[in-house]
C-alpha cells in the first residue's frame, strides 16, 4: 500500500479533499432537508420547557404563548403517532 501511495503523482491529495468536501456538502443538504421536513426549525420550541408552575414567573403574554405552543406541539405529536400507527398497520398486512 505504501508503494502505491508513493507512486501517485504530486497533487493527488487535492482530489481526496474534493471528494470529502463534496460528501460533506451532500450530507449537509440531506440533513437540512430532513430538519425542514420534521419541524426542527421551530422558533417557538423554547416555550415547551415551561409548565403550569412557571405561570407566576412569566409575563401573561409569554404564558399564553407557551400554552398555545404546547397545545400545538401536542397536536403535532398526535398526528405523528397516528401516521406511525398507520404505517405500522400497513406493514402488518
pLDDT, residue 28, reads: 98
pLDDT tens column, 35-87: 998 878 878 878 888 888 888 888 889 889 999 999 998 998 999 899 999 99
C-alpha cell at 47: 416555550
Range 25-29, long-range pairs (CB < 8 A, 24+ positions): none
Cβ partners under 8 Å of residue 91, min gap 6: none
Residue range 11-49, pLDDT digits in tens = 888 999 999 999 999 999 999 999 998 878 878 878 888
- Note the pLDDT of residue 34: 94
**Burial (CB count <10 Å: 0-12, 13-18, 19+), residue 66:** buried
Residue 88: its pLDDT value, please? 92
- Tell me how far CA of residue 52 lies from CA of 3, 27, 76, 87, in angstroms: 69, 40, 20, 35
Q: What is the pTM of this model?
A: 0.57
CB of 48 closer than 8 Å to CB of 69: yes
Amino acid at each position: 500500500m505504501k508503494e502505491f501511495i508513493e507512486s501517485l503523482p504530486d497533487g493527488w491529495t487535492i482530489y481526496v479533499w474534493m471528494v470529502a468536501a463534496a460528501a460533506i456538502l451532500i450530507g449537509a443538504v440531506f440533513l437540512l432537508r430532513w430538519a425542514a421536513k420534521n419541524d426542527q426549525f421551530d422558533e417557538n420550541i423554547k416555550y415547551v420547557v415551561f409548565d403550569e408552575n412557571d405561570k407566576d414567573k412569566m409575563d401573561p403574554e409569554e404564558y399564553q404563548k407557551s400554552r398555545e405552543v404546547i397545545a400545538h406541539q401536542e397536536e403535532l405529536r398526535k398526528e405523528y403517532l397516528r401516521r406511525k400507527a398507520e404505517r405500522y398497520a400497513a406493514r402488518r398486512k
